[in-house]
Amino acid sequence: MDKQFDASSVEVRWSRRWEELAISHADPASPRPPFTIALPPPNITAPLHMGHAMGGSVQDSLIRHRRMRGYEVEWCPGTDHAAIATNAVIERQLLAEGTSKEAVGREAFQARVDAWYEECGGRIYEQMRRLGFSCDWARSRFTLDAGYVRAIRTVFKALFDQGLIYRGPRIVNWCPHDRSAISDEEVEHIEHQDLLTHLRYPLEGGGDVVVATVRPETMLGDTAVAVNPEDPRHRHLIGRWATLPLTGRRVPVIGDSAVLLDFGTGALKVTPGHDPTDYEIGTRHGLPIISVIAPDGTMDVPELPRFHGLTVERARREVTQALDELGAVVAEEPYVHEVGHCERCHHVVEPLVSEQWWVRMADLAAPAIGAVESGAIRFHPQRYTDFYLGWMRGIRDWCISRQIWLGHAIPVSTCANGHRFAWVEPPSACPSCGSTELRHDPDVLDTWFSSALWPFAIFGWPDETPELSRFYPTEVLTTAREIIFLWVARMIMVGLRFTGSKPFSDVLITSTILARDGSRMSKSRGNVVDPLEIIGRYGADAIRAWAAAVGTSGQDQRFDEERVASFQKFANKIWNVTRLLVSRLGDGESIPSAPSGLPPRALLPEDRWILGRLADTLQAVDQAISQYRFHDAVERLYSAIWQDFCSDYMEIVKVRLEDGVSPPSRAAAAATAVGTLDAMLRLLHPFMPFVTEECAQRLPDAAPSLQLRDWPQLDSGWSDPAHAGEQAAIDELMELVRALRARRQEAGISASDPTRHPVVVRGGGHELSADDRRRVLEALVRVRVVPSADGPAQVIVSGGLEAELHLPSGAGEERLRRQLADLESQAARLHARLSDPGFRDHAPAGVVAGTQQRLDEAARQAEALRRRLGPGV
């Protein structure tokens, strides 16, 4: 066994082993209770980043834990075709090659896409395996799989037939770059510094009205001027007509309460064709809609050649200038506001009116709101409940059609006689009239429409498959907060409607991983960290434990590579303590499974002590996992293993494990050490799967995999009421150990000095025999415990124990005085608190008693010190 834990070879070996053992393949016929997670399918647009690595690690921890708890665990992996995002990736590639999708044609484009899915998808699965994810690979799904497509069409057709999907012209968020509509959720608002321009429109019959706008170019499509009917400055204008400069169009002045009194000039130019607010005003007043911007983002005003074909940005300048020439520009003021951008390509979104497919959301939302309000679905952290509910309560219809090449075709056709129908299997004739002259809808679906079906479509829905009935609904959905609206909400709505069950019961929102400087990780910033690189440097266990330590807080987390490194060291520590233990056991030695196989009498106090620590750790870990507080679990295990087991327990029992020691004592130590380490490895396994497997494998009587072992349970043999108080007595002794070490060092005794100076220990209860005390002390600190000694001594008071350490140099009184001063001020503070009648009256009895106890303790120690220091103190 090497001194260094060789993560990479262990990872390769165990990954293969797990697959051979088929531990991750679930059986729908199993009698065990099911536990299912549907892995959020990563977009096949790029390899996984640290956020994916973390989210997946958190899920795998849950998965491994439940497996050990006896569940039939299904963790179904998959990938998402991510239509619009992949479309953008491929278009970018083509652009870089100096060509375009139009130039290469649909077929070649599709071939590029397929090749990309092959390559990128393969890399993603490879990353997941390297991270140690124990997914049910055989059930991997891709959102373009035939079965999945059928599920999508089934849902679409049902919603269509029920009137919940409709088509119609409405104002949409249009991305001129992608040449497609996008949903409200795919628009990101970015601050812009623009000009607010005040324009004067002359009124028929004299006078004028001044409107304010950041988009003067849209005035070419104005069809009204609106003022607030409550506005004393303007309301008398309602009913009059204005004449638009440049176009000469007559537009009415109308009254609408959407116009704000205190913004701009109080008068609003109304462009129903290119502004959502204006569109609604236009709807209310029956205004005509004039489109002046084409889908490619250029001006579409053939009757005005001066502006026709200009980009919107140029048109803005040109129109303003033209208006200025007419004297219509009254003022321009700098103005900061937010402008919508396409989340994918970051181009400015152009609101325009277009025929699209929509999902009516109100009916779908109601049960989805209820499921969360009733607590049937719970968010962790809890604050995301309101986040979700707020959005759901204000939900608007969802634009699901996209005008791109890539994605699921909208399963709707129209026949020559104008019958429009949705289908699941591509039709050859119209179901109404039999016409075979069919025109298929050219649009594709929003990717999130297909994602919404994920938890049940992966199991073969709409067929009643064994997997579906057994593994659905899933249990925990682990995801990032940024897709709560885009994905989580829609899964809940669709799942409830089509399966009658909530798709999951717990939504675990993981932390967001930021770059070291607190900025977002992004390719353009060049600060993206590759999980494989981190694995290469520190091992998969390190990244896994890091994920557990930072992933479940739901907080933003800056990526801290040092933290990952600390877990690599931890893995190495575990490896080495295993080596130590195994080397002391001897080849092929069989150890009775501790501690139940041993007569309790053979256990020494330190054995019972570490078993007590193990019991505490188990309880803490169980509680932490049940609350999704993985950082608590990992931290507890970190200190229990490193400090309690390695630094304390193993150091104490090392000598008992040597050859030639009395057999009962050695057997007890070996059994306790093996039993404790084994249990701790099992507890840690969900968070550090590789090193725990490798180490457990080297212990006597190992199972083929920890995944086939049971989760540790409290064992009555771990604590013995006959030895109550012993635990505390050992803890007290440990404190003395640290005090003795400190004193030795302070006295200038070299760490390498082998001299064991005599020490006399007094006080303490009767839980430990003098032998017990001597054995532990001498194992942990270089002293020799003697019944009595003469000469100058350093005095140490620690808890109820008092020790005289006989060192050659007599220094150290200063330290004693400092300690005494500390104790006195502590005692004074406690005394003051206890003398406060308010405290005595209000604080719970337990707290008062505890305070009293601490005061007594401090007083006793102080007294002992004063005695030692002699008169005059």
Partner RNA sequence: GGGCGGAUGGCGCAGCUGGUCAGCGCGUCUCGCUUACACCGAGAAGGCCGCAGGUUCGAGUCCUGCUCCGCCCACCA
Residues 347-386 that bind RNA (CB under 7 A): 383, 386
Residues numbered 728 to 747 that lie near RNA (CB under 7 A) are: 737-738, 741-742, 745-746
The CB-of-657 to RNA minimum distance in angstroms stands at 10
CB of 653 closer than 8 Å to CB of 602: no
Shortest distance in whole angstroms from residue 272 CB to RNA: 12
Least CB distance to RNA at residue 549 (A): 7
Q: How much of the chain is in helix, strand and coil states, percent to nearest 5?
A: 45, 20, 35
**What is the torsion angle, in degrees rounded to the nearest 10, for the CA atoms of residue 468, residue 470, residue 475 and residue 481?**
-10
779 touching RNA, by CB under 7 A: no
CA–CA dist 136, 643 (Å, integer): 37
Of 67 and 490, the one with the shorter C-beta distance to RNA is 490
Which residues lie across from 324 on neighbouring strands?
A: none
Q: Which of 104, 203, 210, 214 binds RNA (CB under 7 A)?
A: 214
The nearer residue to RNA, 76 or 259, going by C-beta atoms, is 259
Asked if 391 is part of the footprint of RNA (rule: CB under 7 A), the reply reads: yes
**Which C-beta is closer to RNA: that of 704 or that of 763?**
763
Nearest-approach distance from CB 692 to RNA, in angstroms: 15
Task: Please state the closest distance from residue 738 (CB atom) to RNA, in A.
Answer: 4
Nearer to RNA, 206 or 518 (CB): 518
Q: Are the C-beta atoms of residues 703 and 60 closer than 8 Å to each other?
A: no
Between residues 501 and 639, which has the closer beta carbon with respect to RNA?
639
What the block records as the tokens of 746 is 């302070």
Residue 558 CB, nearest distance to RNA (Å)?
4
Look at residue 572 and give its three-state secondary structure. Answer: helix
Copy the structure tokens of residue 803: 């020790």
| Strand order from edge to edge, sheet including 476-480 | 378-380, 506-510, 476-480
Q: Find the binding residues for RNA in span 591-630 (CB under 7 A).
A: 629
Helix H or strand E encompassing 45: none
129-7-684 Cα angle (round to 5): 80
Strands (E), 138-234: 141-142, 165-175, 180-182, 187-202, 208-213, 224-227
- Nearer to RNA by Cβ, of 149 and 389: the residue is 389
On whether the CB atoms of residues 552 and 510 are closer than 8 A, the answer is yes
Q: What angle do CA 163, 176, 194 make, to 5 degrees?
A: 115
Nearer to RNA, 120 or 801 (CB): 801
Count of residues engaged in binding RNA, rule: CB under 7 A: 94
Contacts with RNA in 252-291 (CB under 7 A)? 258-260, 262-269, 275-277, 280
Single residue of 119, 325, 556, 863 touching RNA by CB under 7 A: 556
d(CA 271, CA 611): 76
Residue from 35, 638, 687, 690 that binds RNA (CB under 7 A)?
638
Out of 210, 330, 580, 760, the only residue in the binding site for RNA (CB under 7 A) is 580
Task: Report which secondary-structure segment, H or E, holds 54.
Answer: helix 50-68
Site for RNA in 507-546 (CB under 7 A): 514, 518, 520
Q: Could you tell me the two tokens for 249?
A: 């169009």
Does 659 help bind RNA (rule: CB under 7 A)? Answer: no
210 is a site residue for RNA (CB under 7 A): no
**CB of 682 closer than 8 Å to CB of 711:** yes
What does the block give as tokens for 650? 């193993």
Whichever of 18 and 638 has its CB closer to RNA, that residue is 638
Minimum CB separation of residue 39 from RNA in Å reads 23
Per the CB < 8 A criterion, the answer to whether 825 and 855 are in contact is no
Tell me the CA end-to-end span of the chain in Å, nearest whole number. 58
Task: Map the footprint of RNA across residues 559-578, applying CB under 7 A.
Answer: 560, 562-563, 565-566, 568-569, 571-573, 576-577
Instruction: Please state the closest distance from residue 338 (CB atom) to RNA, in A.
Output: 4
Closest distance of CB 90 from RNA, Å? 25
Please report how many Cα atoms fall inside a 13 Å half-sphere around the Cα of residue 749, on the Cβ side: 23
Minimum CB separation of residue 223 from RNA in Å reads 13
| Residue 844 or 872 with smaller CB distance to RNA | 844
Binding positions for RNA, 471-500, rule CB under 7 A: 482, 485
Minimum CB distance to RNA, residue 482 (Å): 6
Contacting residue, 650, 669, 683, 855, with RNA by CB under 7 A: 650
**Hey, is 530 helix, strand or coil?**
coil
Residue 756 within binding range of RNA, rule CB under 7 A: no
Residue 224 CA to residue 340 CA, distance in Å, equals 24
Q: Which is nearer to RNA, 137 or 391 (CB)?
A: 391
Distance between CA atoms of residues 190 and 35, nearest Å: 42
The encoded tokens of residue 509 equal 């929102």
Strands 512-514 and 556-558, sheet pairing: parallel
If the CB atoms of residues 430 and 820 are measured against RNA, the closer one turns out to be 820
Binding of RNA by 809 (CB under 7 A): no
Q: Is 755 near RNA (CB under 7 A)?
A: no
| Closest distance to RNA from the beta carbon of 740 (Å) | 9
Interaction between residue 338 and RNA (CB under 7 A): yes
Selection from 318, 327, 320, 288 nearest residue 208 by Cα? 327
- In angstroms, the CA 801 to CA 810 distance is 21
| Residue list 114-143, contact with RNA (CB under 7 A) | none
3-class DSSP assignment, residue 534: helix
Site for RNA in 825-854 (CB under 7 A): 836, 838-839, 841-844, 847, 850-851, 854
Range in contact with RNA (rule: CB under 7 A) among 152-160, 209-217, 291-299, 684-692: 209-217
The number of angstroms, rounded, from the C-alpha of 152 to the middle of its chain's C-alpha atoms is 28
Distance CA 830, CA 1 (A): 54
For the CB of residue 794, give the shortest distance to RNA in the complex, in Å. 14
The only residue of 8, 522, 555, 596 in contact with RNA, by rule CB under 7 A: 555
Q: What is the footprint of RNA within residues 170-189 (CB under 7 A)?
A: 184-185, 188-189
CB of 510 to RNA, least distance (A): 12
